[in-house]
Structure 1
Amino acid sequence: MLDVALFLTVMAMFLLGLRRPFIWVLAYLYIDILAPQKIGWTLTPMLPISLIAFLLAFAGWAFADPKSDTKFTLRQGIMCALLAYCFMTLQWADFPIEAHEKWDWVWKALVFAIFLPVTLITRLRIEAAALVLVLTAGAIIISAGMKTALGGGGYENLYLFVNDNSNIYESSTLATVSIALIPIILWFTRHGTIFPPDWRVKTFAGLLIFACLLIPIGTEARTGLLCIGVLGILMLRDVRNRLMYVMAAGALGVAALPFLPASYYERMATLGSVESDESASTRMQVWMWTLDYVSEHPLGGGFDAYRGNKFTYRMPVTREEGGALVTEIQDVTDAGRAYHSSFFEMLGEQGWPGLIMWLSLHALGLLQMERIRRKWRDRTNPAEQWQGPLASALQFSNIVYLVGATFQGIAYQPVFLMLIGLQIALWTYCRKRDSAREAAEHKARRDARRAAASAKPAIP
């Protein structure tokens, strides 16, 4: 039944797109995030539905959308440059076969992120894309949250719709996505129009946020705990009563402590003991290796260049001997370990040019969202009161992503590239409205001057 339901859902979206081609864009968002072709076992894997949706989305825009509203921005240009540069490094990749496997999905994620803003030309479209993104990821989050609440969590033991540990289904990635989506979920409880924010929407949003907070517990992803802390601090900026917010957050945290499994405490305890944690020690060695590597290869080594690393380091190892715990320093040799950081992922694979482009892409986004937030926050027109809060939500989501990306190799994660597309669309939408408003005000001043001049009595 699940396979049939997924197949019919996808086919229904394809058919609806014949009448409203923009639905094909939403269909691709749904398919790329949820990956129904991996969940189903008969019907959905039968067709290349992701490729079909990808082509339909472009065809729908090419034949049905007005091109007068199409604006190409600086950030889209940066992504185009990054895409071209990734293709260049692919030519001299240290591991060509593995590099081409990663390129097969990276180029599609970047191309769609470049394309997405040109389709989001109205408030309804921007909101619809954000809603599909939240609800599709929410399907995974709700399922994982329920399993966590029923005691089915644990590090690398929280089974999701698929078990291939890729894309959003990787545990640390899902934890980061879950926390990053919370500001956008909150935005829908105040400014949504597709589902007006009544008690039903707010109740569902509250439960979804609760499920989002359960994901770092169910996955026992240490990055998720850091993301929760960072988001909690960020939200202090916009809350009205900061004291009550801090007290409520503290009370909620204390109340949750008795319900956390012992394995979660053990996992989180390693945050403060980097030297004795093999995972953390390995990451630091990989980062040091990457810095040495890029000093000899400043243009990068192509996708998956980390496969060439090999290093030996010393760390304390505790074992039981004669009923007592004995700690001794041992040499640990490791090789082919992933970067476990998007910053070092970009540096090792694309060198300094790629890292600079990637950092510029996110820095510009944070600045643009802050500019929209400040410029639109005091407007009284009801039609101009949703832009500032959405910019703030997307800004918070971006910061949470960068925190998670510090400890994960998710530089090209499709969900976050989609969020970049939403940022660019909002920036373009607001600039267009500002330009129209400035033009109207200029025309009004000019007409007023002409009227005043014509009203003056003629000099005899």
Structure 2
Amino acid sequence: MFDFVILAFLAVLVVLGLRRPFIWVLTYLYVDIVVPQQVGYVFLPDLKVSLITFILAFAGWIMFDNKKGTQVSIRQGILLAFLIWCGFTTAIAEFPESAALKWAWVWKSMLFALFLPLVLRTRLRLEAAVYVSVLSLATIVISGGIKTLLTGGGYGVLVTLSASNSGIYEGSTLSTVTIACIPLVWWLAMHGTILPARTKSAIFLAVALTGASLLIPIGTQARTGLLCVAFLGLLLLRSVPNKFAFGAAAGLLVLLSIPFLPQSFQERMGTISNYQADQSASTRLQVWDWTLDYVAENPIGGGFDVYLANSFTYETVETIREGNVERTERTEVTESRRAFHSSYFEVLGEQGVFGFLLWTLLHGTGLVAMERLRRRGRESDDPELQRWGTLANALQQVQLVYLFGALFVGVAYQPFIMTVLAMQMALTGLVVQGDRRENQRERKKRLAARRERGREVASS
């Protein structure tokens, strides 16, 4: 029954797209985030939902969409270079079959990110893309939040819409994405125009969705999620008008929530400060050290999933207290074929030094571009530019939280962050278009003034 409901929903979107092809782009955004083929149980897993909507999105733009205002940015060039480089390293990958499986979804994620700014050429379209992305993620977040309240969750236990433990449904990835997305939730609540902003219902929905998002790290018991919450709190201090009140309220909320947190969650979070006793954390450090050695010998990288080549032995150190006596227990652990658990080392190991530089440049230019727009909006008297400045601030916060969480999770190529980068490019393009229109108006005014002065001189 569930499969039929999702299929009917997708069918309605496809039919609506016959009249407004841009809806097919929004449909693919929904499919890319929710991954309905993983949610279904009967026939949805066998349908090529992602491929079908991917083709429709491109076909609709090529055949029916107005290309007026379409422009290509330098950042799209950087992303294209990164896509080509990933294709090259896939061709020479150490593990061709595994690399091909990852490449099968990575290239679509990057190509769609290249394509999206060409389509989001109006204010309405950009806002619609933000709405669909947030609401699509909300379908997962609300489910996870409710189940956390009812069951308390657990590491590797919480099941949201899908029982899959891959992609966005992996615990640490979901925690990172949901916390990162909170600034966009509030931008829509305070500045959205498609639905009424600053209303009681908008604020209530934003509060509810924020609460559900904060429950996800508790339900998944992902340490990365807790760190992302703390980091987002620090970022928000730059934007909130009353920093002292915000900090006091956040601290009070943390203190009040501690008694209600599951004991298993508190114990797992306690391993953050004692990484030497935690096998998972110790393994990550060993993988990162192995990656540096590998890249030193293979500067062009080893292609996707090159971590399958790693193997190492190390010791965990744990202090055990028995009464008034403490003793240190050392355990030798041998590991192999362990994932990177860090986007930075993931890109470095798989794409080498050049690929890592491209990836860093892609994100660095995005942060700089959003900072410029944020400051322009803050200093401008134009309400429209102020609104875009707040969106730039939200997108920058999303990216920063995501990049912080990426220190501990391999999410470098995830569709969500690629979509965020595409929105940044689209936003920059819209502001540039607005500047050009304003310059044209100013030139016309100056030209008209010169003509008027010329007529006055001639008549005199």
Identify whether the pair has TM-score above 0.5, normalized to the shorter chain.
Answer: yes
Matched, 1:147 2:152: no
Aligned residue for 2:181, secondary structure, equals: helix
AA paired with 1:57?
A
Q: Which residue of 1 aligns with 2:444?
A: 443
Aligned residue for 2:50, secondary structure, equals: helix
AA paired with 2:380?
R
1:114-166 residue CA offsets vs partner (Å, 9 max, x unmatched): 11111101111101111110011111001001111113411111112112211
Q: Which residue of 1 aligns with 2:127?
A: 127
In structure 1, C-alpha distance between the alignment counterparts of 2:416 and 2:318, rounded to whole Å: 38
- Using the TM superposition, give the Cα deviation of residue 75 of structure 1 relative to its aligned residue in structure 2, in angstroms: 1.2
Q: Which residue of 1 aligns with 2:32?
A: 32
1:73-126 residue CA offsets vs partner (Å, 9 max, x unmatched): 111111111111111111211111111110111111111111111110111110
In structure 1, C-alpha distance between the alignment counterparts of 2:338 and 2:317, rounded to whole Å: 20
AA paired with 1:179?
I
Q: Which residue of 1 aligns with 2:107?
A: 107
In the TM superposition, 1:321-332 aligns within 5 A as: 327-332=328-333
For the Cα contact (< 8 Å) 1:33–1:137, is it kept in 2? Answer: yes
- Using the TM superposition, give the Cα deviation of residue 448 of structure 1 relative to its aligned residue in structure 2, in angstroms: 2.2
AA paired with 2:267?
E
Aligned residue for 2:70, secondary structure, equals: coil
AA paired with 1:276?
A
Q: Which residue of 1 aligns with 2:262?
A: 261
Q: Which residue of 1 aligns with 2:193?
A: 193
- Using the TM superposition, give the Cα deviation of residue 458 of structure 1 relative to its aligned residue in structure 2, in angstroms: 6.5
Q: Which residue of 2 aligns with 1:175?
A: 175
Q: Which residue of 1 aligns with 2:85?
A: 85
Aligned residue for 1:271, secondary structure, equals: coil
How many corresponding residue pairs? 458
* Range 373-382 or range 1-10, more displaced: 373-382
In structure 2, C-alpha distance between the alignment counterparts of 1:179 and 1:330, rounded to whole Å: 35
Q: Which residue of 1 aligns with 2:388?
A: 387
AA paired with 1:403?
F
- Using the TM superposition, give the Cα deviation of residue 195 of structure 1 relative to its aligned residue in structure 2, in angstroms: 1.0
- Using the TM superposition, give the Cα deviation of residue 320 of structure 1 relative to its aligned residue in structure 2, in angstroms: 10
Q: Which residue of 2 aligns with 1:69?
A: 69
For the Cα contact (< 8 Å) 2:346–2:412, is it kept in 1? Answer: yes
* Range 42-51 or range 58-67, more displaced: 42-51
For the Cα contact (< 8 Å) 1:116–1:421, is it kept in 2? Answer: yes
In structure 2, C-alpha distance between the alignment counterparts of 1:240 and 1:321, rounded to whole Å: 50
Q: Which residue of 1 aligns with 2:5?
A: 5
For the Cα contact (< 8 Å) 1:80–1:114, is it kept in 2? Answer: yes
In the TM superposition, 1:240-279 aligns within 5 A as: 240-279=241-280
Q: Which residue of 2 aligns with 1:306?
A: 307
* Range 425-434 or range 329-338, more displaced: 329-338
- Using the TM superposition, give the Cα deviation of residue 454 of structure 1 relative to its aligned residue in structure 2, in angstroms: 3.3
1:271-325 residue CA offsets vs partner (Å, 9 max, x unmatched): 1112111111111111110000000000000000000001111222578999x98
In structure 1, C-alpha distance between the alignment counterparts of 2:315 and 2:289, rounded to whole Å: 15
Q: Which residue of 2 aligns with 1:219?
A: 220
Distance verdict in 2 for CA 1:325–1:148, change over 3 Å: farther
In structure 2, C-alpha distance between the alignment counterparts of 1:328 and 1:205, rounded to whole Å: 48
AA paired with 2:138?
G
Aligned residue for 1:315, secondary structure, equals: strand
For the Cα contact (< 8 Å) 1:109–1:417, is it kept in 2? Answer: yes
Q: Which residue of 1 aligns with 2:236?
A: 235
For the Cα contact (< 8 Å) 1:7–1:43, is it kept in 2? Answer: no
Matched, 1:15 2:10: no
For the Cα contact (< 8 Å) 1:175–1:221, is it kept in 2? Answer: yes
AA paired with 2:53?
A
For the Cα contact (< 8 Å) 2:113–2:422, is it kept in 1? Answer: yes
AA paired with 1:387?
W
| Unaligned 5+ runs, structure 2 | none
Q: Which residue of 1 aligns with 2:359?
A: 358
In structure 1, C-alpha distance between the alignment counterparts of 2:7 and 2:361, rounded to whole Å: 40
- Using the TM superposition, give the Cα deviation of residue 38 of structure 1 relative to its aligned residue in structure 2, in angstroms: 1.7
In the TM superposition, 1:309-320 aligns within 5 A as: 309-317=310-318
For the Cα contact (< 8 Å) 2:38–2:164, is it kept in 1? Answer: no
In structure 2, C-alpha distance between the alignment counterparts of 1:170 and 1:46, rounded to whole Å: 21
- Using the TM superposition, give the Cα deviation of residue 455 of structure 1 relative to its aligned residue in structure 2, in angstroms: 2.7
Matched, 1:137 2:140: no
Identity of aligned residues (%): 49
In structure 1, C-alpha distance between the alignment counterparts of 2:441 and 2:185, rounded to whole Å: 34
For the Cα contact (< 8 Å) 2:377–2:386, is it kept in 1? Answer: yes
In structure 1, C-alpha distance between the alignment counterparts of 2:254 and 2:154, rounded to whole Å: 19
In structure 1, C-alpha distance between the alignment counterparts of 2:444 and 2:66, rounded to whole Å: 26
Distance verdict in 2 for CA 1:313–1:46, change over 3 Å: closer
In structure 2, C-alpha distance between the alignment counterparts of 1:125 and 1:183, rounded to whole Å: 19
- Using the TM superposition, give the Cα deviation of residue 331 of structure 1 relative to its aligned residue in structure 2, in angstroms: 2.0
1:249-288 residue CA offsets vs partner (Å, 9 max, x unmatched): 1111111111111111111111111211111111111111
Matched, 1:349 2:322: no
Q: Which residue of 2 aligns with 1:454?
A: 455
In structure 2, C-alpha distance between the alignment counterparts of 1:321 and 1:227, rounded to whole Å: 35
AA paired with 1:379?
S
Aligned residue for 1:223, secondary structure, equals: helix
In structure 2, C-alpha distance between the alignment counterparts of 1:430 and 1:193, rounded to whole Å: 18
- Using the TM superposition, give the Cα deviation of residue 330 of structure 1 relative to its aligned residue in structure 2, in angstroms: 2.6
| Unaligned 5+ runs, structure 1 | none
In structure 1, C-alpha distance between the alignment counterparts of 2:383 and 2:235, rounded to whole Å: 26
- TM-score w.r.t. length of structure 1: 0.96
In structure 2, C-alpha distance between the alignment counterparts of 1:223 and 1:386, rounded to whole Å: 31
1:376-431 residue CA offsets vs partner (Å, 9 max, x unmatched): 22333443332010000000000001001011111001111111111110011111
In the TM superposition, 1:420-439 aligns within 5 A as: 420-439=421-440
For the Cα contact (< 8 Å) 1:227–1:400, is it kept in 2? Answer: yes
In structure 1, C-alpha distance between the alignment counterparts of 2:277 and 2:444, rounded to whole Å: 69
- Using the TM superposition, give the Cα deviation of residue 438 of structure 1 relative to its aligned residue in structure 2, in angstroms: 1.8
Q: Which residue of 2 aligns with 1:404?
A: 405
In structure 2, C-alpha distance between the alignment counterparts of 1:454 and 1:179, rounded to whole Å: 63
AA paired with 2:296?
S
* Range 394-403 or range 375-384, more displaced: 375-384
For the Cα contact (< 8 Å) 1:345–1:411, is it kept in 2? Answer: yes
- TM-score w.r.t. length of structure 2: 0.96
